[in-house]
């Protein structure tokens, strides 16, 4: 049986990295252990974001590198062939496009612009707490 497939938005992943015991942290690490996380060249902005100076007081360079290596080793890279404009915030369309092209089951986000959609092409849009309540009992 194929593992469930998830797309996490950048802010949720950053929260998980900064606060491993937080709800986003627990959700991300649960999915890393039991599901498949999808990424694309468009969503890998995470690499640039976690190297911003504002995170220097929270994370060492080694911690950032270790996290990225671990995430990339377990993630599935998806080539996105369509660029649909769906979300009221155009910057969030990349997550919807990745989820659709990668045949995701879920998008995990705290972003109201995505959450308001509830689902897209049969892909449920959840927050991290919903993931824990549904799967990590």
Query: Nearest-5° angle of CA 95, CA 96, CA 98?
Result: 65
**Which CATH number is associated with domain 5-135?**
3.40.50.1010
> What is the pTM for the complete model shown?
0.93
> Average of pLDDT values for 36-46?
89
What is the band of 46 on the pLDDT scale with cuts at 50, 70, 90? Answer: confident
- Closest to 38 measured CA to CA, from 78, 79, 1, 66: 78
> Structural domain boundaries of the chain?
5-135
């Amino acid at each position: 049986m194929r593992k469930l497939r998830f797309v996490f938005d950048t802010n949720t992943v950053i929260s998980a990295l900064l606060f491993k015991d937080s709800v986003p942290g627990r959700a991300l690490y649960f999915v890393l252990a039991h599901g498949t996380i999808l990424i694309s060249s468009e969503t890998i902005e995470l690499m640039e974001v976690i190297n911003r100076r504002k995170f220097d007081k929270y994370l060492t360079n080694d911690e950032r590198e270790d996290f990225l290596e671990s995430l990339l080793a377990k993630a599935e890279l998806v080539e996105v062939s369509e660029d649909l404009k769906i979300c009221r915030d155009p910057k969030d369309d990349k997550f919807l496009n990745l989820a659709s092209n990668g045949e995701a089951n879920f998008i995990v986000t705290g972003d109201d612009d995505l959450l308001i959609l509830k689902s897209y092409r049969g892909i449920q849009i959840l927050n991290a707490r919903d993931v824990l309540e549904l799967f990590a009992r």
